Structure 1
Amino acid sequence: MIQGLYEDLKGKTALITGGLGCLGRVLCTEFAKQGTNLIILDKSQEDAVFLTELRRYQISTEFHQVDFESGDSRSRVIEEISKTTQRLDILINNAAYVGSTDAPGWAVPFQDQSIDTWNKALEVNLTTPFHLIQGLEKLLRLSDAPTIVNIGSIYGSHGPDWEIYKGTDMGNPAGYAASKGGLIQLTRWLATTLSPKIRVNCVSPGGISRNQDISFVEKYSLRTPLKRMATEDEIVSSILFLSSSSANYITGQNIQVDGGWSAW
Structure 2
Amino acid sequence: MPFEKFDLTGKTALVTGAAGILGTEHAAALLEAGATVALTDVNTAALTSAKDMLSQHFSSKNILVKVMDVSNAESVQDVANELTSGGISVDILVNNAAIDPKVTEERGILETSRLENFPMPQWDLQIAVGLTGAFLCSKIFGSTMAKSGRGGVIVNIASDLSVLSPDQRLYRKAGLSKDLQPVKPVTYSVIKAGLVGLTRYLATYWADEGVRCNALSPGGVFNGQSDEFVLRLCKLIPLGRMAAREEYRAAVQFLCSDASSYMNGQNVIMDGGRSAW
Q: Same fold (TM over 0.5)?
A: yes
- For residues 89 and 106 of structure 1, the distance between their equivalents in structure 2, rounded to whole angstroms, comes to 43
Mark the CA change 1:20 to 1:143 in structure 2 (over 3 Å): closer, same or farther: farther
Structure 2 CA distance, aligned partners of 1:81 and 1:11?
Answer: 15
User: Which amino acid letter does the alignment assign opposite residue 213 of structure 1?
Assistant: S
Do the aligned partners of 2:66 and 2:79 also contact (CA within 8 Å) in 1?
A: yes
Decide whether the 8 Å contact of 1:5 with 1:34 is kept in 2. no
Cα deviation for residue 50 of structure 1 reads 4.1
Name the structure 1 match of 2:177. Answer: none
Among the aligned pairs, what percent are the same residue?
A: 30
Partner of 1:113: 118
- The structural deviation recorded for 1:78 is 2.9
Equivalent position SS for 2:7? helix
- What is the distance in 1 between the residues matched to 2:252 and 2:21? 15
Q: What are structure 2's unaligned runs of at least 5 residues?
A: 175-180
Q: How does 1:49-88 map to 2 (within 5 A)?
A: 50-52=50-52, 54-55=54-55, 57-58=58-59, 59-88=61-90
Distance 1:106 1:188, change over 3 A: farther
State the shift of 1:27 in Å: 1.6
> What amino acid maps onto 2:94 in structure 1?
I
For residues 120 and 193 of structure 1, do their structure 2 counterparts lie closer, same or farther at Cα, with a shift above 3 Å needed? same
Instruction: Find the residue that maps to 2:217 and give its secondary structure.
Output: strand
Deviation at 1:43, TM superposition (A): 1.3
**Contact 1:99 / 1:106 at 8 angstroms: preserved in 2?**
no
Q: Is the 8 A contact 1:78 1:132 kept in 2?
A: no
Query: What is the SS of the residue equivalent to 1:129?
Result: helix
Give the unaligned 5+ runs of structure 1: none
Which one has a larger percent helix, Structure 1 or Structure 2?
2
1:95 is aligned, of 94, 97, 115, to: 97
CA drift of 1:68 comes to 3.0
Match of 1:127 among 129, 132, 141: 132
- Out of 173, 176, 193, the residue aligned to residue 167 of structure 1 is 173
2: distance between equivalents of 1:237 and 1:193? 27
Q: Which residue of 2 aligns with 1:11?
A: 10
Residue by residue over 1:170-200, the C-alpha shift from the partner in whole angstroms, topping out at 9 and shown as x without a partner, is 6311111111111110100110111031110
2:207 to 195, 202, 208: 195
Name the CA shift for 1:229/1:212 in 2 (closer, same or farther; >3 Å). Answer: same
**Distance in structure 2 (CA, Å) of the matches to 1:94 and 1:128:** 9
Rate the CA distance shift 1:99–1:106 in 2: closer, same or farther, 3 A. farther
CA contact (8 A) 2:70 2:134 kept: no
Measured after TM superposition, the shift of residue 116 of structure 1 is 1.0
Q: Does 1:238 align with 2:238?
A: no
Structure 1, residues 64-86: CA drift from partner, whole Å, max 9, x if none? 11233333323332332333344
Q: How far did 1:63 drift?
A: 1.1
- Measured against aligned partners, the alpha-carbon deviations of 1:128-168 in whole angstroms (never above 9, x if no partner) come to 11111111124323363511100001112211111111129
Q: CA deviation at 1:106?
A: 8.5
- The CA distance in 1 between the partners of 2:156 and 2:112, in whole Å, is 24
Distance in 1 between residues matched to 2:269 and 2:17, nearest whole Å: 20
Contact 1:89–1:140 (8 Å) recurs in 2: yes
Taking structure 1 as the reference length, what is the TM-score of the superposition?
0.89
Figure out how many residues of one structure are paired with residues of the other and give that number: 261
TM-score by length of 2: 0.85
1:251 aligns with 2:250: no
The amino acid that maps onto 2:66 is H
Map Cα deviations across residues 39-70 of structure 1 (whole Å, 9 max, x no partner). 11111115445425545633422211123333
Alpha-carbon distance in 2 for matches of 1:77, 1:205 = 28
Aligned mates of 2:221, 2:228 — CA distance in 1:
15
Q: Which has the larger radius of gyration?
A: 2
Of 13-22 and 25-34, deviating more is: 25-34
